[in-house]
Amino acid sequence: MKTIKNIGLVIFLIGLAIFTALPLLGTYQINQAAFDELISEKRIKSELFIEDLQKNVVGQEFQGMQSLSPLVGNALDNANAAHVKNKEYKKKIYTSSSDMAAAIGKKSSSGFIAENKGLMWLLTFGLGIIGALLFIIPNVVLLGKKGIKNDGIYHESSTNQGWIAWLVFIFLVGFYLILYFKSEYAVNWTYLVDPISEGLSGNPAGHWFVYGFMYCVVMSVMAVRMYIKYRHNMYQMVRTTSVLFFQIVFAFLIPEIMVRLQMPYYDFKNAFPLDYDFFFQWNLKSLLNSGGIGLFILVWGVALTLIVVPVMVYFFGKRWYCSWVCGCGGLAETLGDPYRQHSSKSLFSWKVERWLIHGVLVFAVVMTGMTLYSFFAETGTVWGIKTQSIQNTYSLAIGSVFAGVIGTGFYPIFGNRVWCRFGCPLAAYLGFVQRFKSRFRITTNGGQCISCGNCSTYCEQGIDVRAYAQKGENIVRSSCVGCGVCSAVCPRGVLKLENGPEAGRINPTQVLLGNDVDLMELVNKK
């Protein structure tokens, strides 16, 4: 069994190594016809840019994106600089140099990778999946009898912020930086999944399709790990199935199929303000131009945030979204599960959390207010501030850096819910509902708590669960995503997630049992 595990690890690492090397490999050669096609698709009117590329790029062979990308970037910068200087604003190119290089790269498909997509898929995703499963599945036997399986978590380099964790950190951060800021280096990855994308939406894959596909693959493989690790705990089994279903069907398949049916790309479960660009002008226009389905999405999107989300939180707590449906939560609960113990439980972190997450919510709301004002008043500025620049700031700082690079990249160091705990504006909104008007609570079982601290250690949201449990208080915290792990790891059966009447939900006083009633009255006196 151990041998199978090790073989699996080697296979996985080979797949990962090939995948990691791909951005720098491959040959690019764009011919005249493809170049002309690109110019017309992108509606490029800058003769400077066209001439530059004609001279330096078209027809030539480039080894690796690193030799092609700077040429495109330079051409773009020079052309734009000249047009601005000459006040030829209509000729200015607004496509970013990364997107332009990616588009050229994608059109210059030649060489081994582009011609052997199936084989390359097997050598990357295929080896990765097979290797990971070979590594994970022997645990059915190796972990022994069902029960809590946290042995050695703080002895392993990978789960105790050791060197493996730091390598994973570097890999994840690098991956997200490419995805958000250097998408031209993802061109080779898009070839791997082109056949799948074409099968679904009919279009070749872009780098976001790579991300979506990879997200589903990673979640599925790590869900297998969850099923094995928590096989004694039905709540975890059901919950894991739920997040997996919503990711694959709602976040991945349905939007792609909608594109094939000439409908707008839309993830029906992605609620504003997590879906922060829902009210952006381009999206509203696209929806309004898409006939019935566009209108339906518009109404659904608004109703989701204003009615469905709060009503469901009232009945079930925010867990129904954050740890049962949400994509960010889904990744955190599968890929991120080995890192859940790294969330800081200090009072200081809690203070930071409240400032940050509510700050982001305010930011999102203000930005959307400006966006809607701009849309209806048909103006680009509000009080002299450009709406576009606020949107760009939010997209960059919150949408890309916070949610992506930090949110997932920092898993191995700061735990798996950094974004959900410190940044997600939807979580902040749901948190208000959960805290002040909900039937959800984690009930503390009388006086059984022995203050061992397993619950606090494994709370991914950094809640000091023990602080409540040892006083006999129920846990009613806005940040709780209801993952249920505190209850699972408790050795004394003290914690239970449940939805019940609002009366008695927040036990107003300590209800430790065992002491006689008179003493409890005295203890509870403030």
Partner 1 sequence: MEHIVIIGNGIAGITAARHIRKNSDKKITVVSAETDYFFSRTALMYVYMGHMKFEHTQPYENWFWKKNRIDLVKGYVNTVDHQNKKLILENGGDITYDKLIIATGSKPNKFGWPGQDLPGVQGLYSKQDLDELEANAPNKETCKRAVIVGGGLIGIEMAEMLRSRKIPVTFLVRETSFWNGVLPAGESAMINEHILEHHIDLRLGTNLVEILADENGRAKAVTTDKGDTIECSVVGLTAGVSPNIEFLKDSGIELGRGVKVNRHLETNIKDIYAIGDCAEQHEGIGQRRPIEAVWYTGRMMGETVAQTICENRTAYKPGHWFNSAKFLDLEYQTYGWVFSERGMQENEQHFHWRDAKEKICITIAFDKNDKQFLGINTFGIRMRHEIFDRWLTEKRDVNYVIEFLKDANFDPEFYAPYEAKIAAKFNSDFGTSISPKKKSWKRIFSTT
Where does this chain bind partner 1 (CB under 8 A)? 144-148, 150-156, 232-235, 237-238, 346-347, 443, 445-448, 450-454, 456-457, 466-467, 470, 484, 487-489, 491-493, 496-498, 500-501, 503-504, 511-516, 518-519, 522-523
In the complex, minimum distance from the CB of residue 449 to partner 1, in angstroms, rounded to a whole number: 8
Closest CA to 125 of 9, 199, 246, 18: 18
Closest CA to 330 of 428, 417, 259: 417
In the complex, minimum distance from the CB of residue 150 to partner 1, in angstroms, rounded to a whole number: 4
Residue 264's alpha-carbon distances to 145, 253, 277, 293, 399, in angstroms, are 49, 13, 14, 8, 21
User: Is the distance from CB of 66 to CB of 24 less than 8 angstroms?
Assistant: yes
HSE toward the beta carbon, residue 98, CA cutoff 13 A? 12
Residue nearer to partner 1 on the CB measure, 418 or 488: 488
In the complex, minimum distance from the CB of residue 514 to partner 1, in angstroms, rounded to a whole number: 5
In the complex, minimum distance from the CB of residue 476 to partner 1, in angstroms, rounded to a whole number: 16
Residue nearer to partner 1 on the CB measure, 11 or 494: 494
Distance CA 204, CA 522 (A): 71
Residue nearer to partner 1 on the CB measure, 154 or 208: 154
Residue nearer to partner 1 on the CB measure, 232 or 285: 232
What torsion, rounded to 10 degrees, do the Cα atoms 245, 248, 253, 256 define? 140
473 CB-near residues (< 8 Å, 6+ apart): 444, 507, 510, 511
Which runs of consecutive H residues, i.e. helices, occur in 325-346? 327-334
* Residue type at position 425: P
In the complex, minimum distance from the CB of residue 353 to partner 1, in angstroms, rounded to a whole number: 16
Distance CA 474, CA 455 (A): 13
Residue nearer to partner 1 on the CB measure, 116 or 451: 451
User: Is the distance from CB of 219 to CB of 247 less than 8 angstroms?
Assistant: yes
Which runs of consecutive H residues, i.e. helices, occur in 156-252? 163-181, 187-200, 207-229, 234-245
DSSP H or E run through 259 = helix 254-260
In the complex, minimum distance from the CB of residue 10 to partner 1, in angstroms, rounded to a whole number: 23
Distance CA 83, CA 23 (A): 32
Residue nearer to partner 1 on the CB measure, 288 or 513: 513
In the complex, minimum distance from the CB of residue 279 to partner 1, in angstroms, rounded to a whole number: 36
What does the buried/exposed string (b/e) look like for 240-253 if buried means 16 or more CB atoms within 10 Å of the residue's CB?
A: bebbbebbbebbbe
Residue nearer to partner 1 on the CB measure, 117 or 345: 345
Distance CA 379, CA 75 (A): 33
Residue nearer to partner 1 on the CB measure, 46 or 456: 456
In the complex, minimum distance from the CB of residue 304 to partner 1, in angstroms, rounded to a whole number: 25
Is the bond preceding 508 in cis, omega lying within 30 degrees of 0? no
Residue nearer to partner 1 on the CB measure, 126 or 453: 453
In the complex, minimum distance from the CB of residue 457 to partner 1, in angstroms, rounded to a whole number: 5
The CA-based angle 176-178-184, given to 5 degrees, is 150
User: Is the distance from CB of 219 to CB of 328 less than 8 angstroms?
Assistant: no
Residue nearer to partner 1 on the CB measure, 174 or 453: 453
Strands 62-63 and 385-386 come out as unpaired
In the complex, minimum distance from the CB of residue 499 to partner 1, in angstroms, rounded to a whole number: 9
